[in-house]
Amino acid sequence: MASSQPRKEELSGSSAHMCECRVTHNFFVRSVGMHFEYDGDDAEFQHRYGGQLVDGDGDALSSLAVAGILAEVREQRATRLQAPEESLARVQRIEQSYRRLHPEVYTIDPKAFLAESFLELVEVLRGCQTSLRGVSSSLEDLKSRGLLQEKRPGLWTFKVFTEAFCDLLETELANFAASGLPCTAPNTMNRHGVILAELGFYPGLLNPLVYEYVDVLAGQLLPDHTEGLDSYRAFTVLYDAAADGDRDLALHYDNAEVTLNVNIGGSWAGGQVAFYGLATEEESDTPAEISLQRGHGVLHAGLDMHKALPITSGRRHNLVIWCRSSRVRNQLCPMCFRQPCVLPTCKYFDEGFTVPPCRLACEQHSETGCKPNSCHSDDDLYTDEAD
Ligand SMILES: O=C(O)CCC(=O)C(=O)O
Ligand SMILES: [Fe+2]
């Protein structure tokens, strides 16, 4: 199953790619509560939305109001186009100026960082990859011994990290936050989390965690969703009931085949993560609500719709890893549900598509003559020159 595949960064000639939909789809304008598509063609935007948009009373929006929406969408697109370049600049600045408090937390120490039960869980499931004995009896055994819980089909919880690791990571991240250096928030709803690639956590800590451990679990526990994990996006989310804190996260699915979400600290009330089932299937009326103890994680399909309920007091700090399987996502982009047509990007914005088999948007457009303005002539902007 999973691990015989080379990971993406080991493939010769590979580079980072994102689906073109990242800069053409899902622009959310809060004032009208709608998502828009926009590929840089103003006339097409006007044509597509001009007559359709109505205000709260059902009256058509004025052309001035539509122009205002277009301006907002245009700005969002420009921000997304610039994001990879800005990320590279931030990384350079962090590398030059940040003094690590705990340099040891950047390199995995399995015995000190990973819970004993997690190491055993992975070893048992690794053994199932080669054994003829079915995985199901091993899973039953692991469940009966309390190493693994199945909250409902496809929703697994287990202990991942030791307290010592959670302490190290939390204090390192607090030290980084106190440095005042710039970092990126993982999404617009989580203003206080950070993208861990930009802080240098990938090579020594997260690459081995994902490729040597999570890949084994994902392959055995969510076999319909991965054909081997070969890239990922890792970040933290931080909820705080205090005045300026983020409290909840809207219903969504992840840009991932498989997600591992682990609590690394805090003490709080509320804040359960509620799961509603796969986006491709009928929504469940009764969500499975998960509340994790410190060091414990939930492993779920990226397509499992979920939201974080509001925390009512305290603070909740989680490490989230969106794991990607190029063999799966190369067939269909999980964000636009189309065959991916990709743009080069920097490694911090990699969405895990590989070329080939995916086609570059520029080639696709010049061949078919469609949408030349959504393909990027200035490739240097999207090439990772930090390596
Ligand atoms: O709040 C959480 O624990 C879930 C976060 C999440 O779903 C995400 O960032 O994709
Ligand atoms: Fe999520």
Distance CA 263, CA 165 (A): 12
Which atom of ligand 1 sits closest to the CA of residue 307? 7
Residue 259 Cα: closest atom of ligand 1: 10
Q: What is the pLDDT of residue 10?
A: 54
Per-position DSSP letters for 314-377, written without gaps between them: EEEEEEEEEEE-HHHHTTS-TTT-S--EEEE--GGG-----TTTSEEHHHHHHHH---GGGS-S
Query: What is the structure's pLDDT at 186?
Result: 81
Tell which one of 184, 236, 258, 273 to mutate to probe ligand 1, the residue whose CB is within 8 A of the most ligand atoms: 273
Q: What is d(CA 238, CA 290) in angstroms, rounded to the nearest whole number?
A: 16
Is the separation of the CB atoms in 300 and 306 below 8 Å?
yes
pLDDT at 387 over 60: no
- Tell me the C-alpha distance between 158 and 137, whole Å: 18
> Which has the higher per-residue pLDDT, 165 or 33?
165
| Residue 267, token pair as written in the block | 């003490």
H runs (alpha helix) in 145-214: 163-179, 207-208
pLDDT 10s digits, 269-317: 999 999 999 999 988 789 999 999 999 999 999 999 999 999 999 999 9
Look up residue 35 and give its amino acid.
H
As a whole number of Å, the end-to-end CA separation of the chain is: 31
pLDDT at position 245 is 85
pLDDT at 308: 96
pLDDT (tens digit, 9 = 90+) per residue, 340-358? 999 999 888 899 999 999 9
- Provide mean pLDDT across the span 83-100: 94
Instruction: Give the residue, by CA position, lying nearest to ligand 1 atom 1.
Output: 308
Q: Which ligand is nearest to the CA of 252?
A: 2
In this predicted model, what pLDDT tens digit does every residue of 64-75 receive, in sequence order? 889 999 999 999
CB 296 within 8 A of CB 273: no
What was the pLDDT predicted at 132? 63
Q: Given a cut of 60, is residue 2 above it in pLDDT?
A: no
> Where does the pLDDT of residue 375 fall: very low under 50, low under 70, confident under 90, or very high at 90 and above?
very low
| CA 224 to ligand 1 center in whole angstroms | 22
Question: For residues 101 and 168, what is the distance between their CA atoms, to the nearest angstrom?
Answer: 9
308 lines ligand 1 (CB under 6 A): yes
Nearest alpha carbon, ligand 1 atom 4: 308
Ligand 1 atom closest to residue 187's alpha carbon, by position in its atom list: 9
Q: Would you say the ipTM is above 0.85?
A: yes
Q: Which of 248, 249, 298 to mutate to test the pocket of ligand 1 (most atoms within 8 A of CB)?
A: 249
* C-beta 318 within 6 A of ligand 1: yes
Ligand 1 within 6 A of CB of 249: yes
Q: Which of 196, 207, 203, 202 is nearest to 7 (CA)?
A: 207
The size of the chain, in residues, is 387
pLDDT of residue 29: 85
Domain boundary assignment for the chain: 2-22+101-382
Q: Hey, how many other C-beta atoms are within 10 angstroms of the C-beta on 336?
A: 17
Per the prediction, the chain carries an average pLDDT of 88
Whether 114 contacts 161, CB under 8 Å = yes
Q: State the CATH architecture for 2-22+101-382.
A: Sandwich (2.60)
Please report the pLDDT score of residue 379 as a whole number: 35
Q: Which atom of ligand 1 is nearest to the CA of 249?
A: 1
What is the whole-number distance in angstroms between the Cα of residue 48 and the centre of ligand 1?
Answer: 33
- Residue with the bigger pLDDT between 22 and 285: it is 22
Of the listed ranges 18-27, 44-53, 89-98, the least confidently predicted one is 44-53
pLDDT for res 216: 97
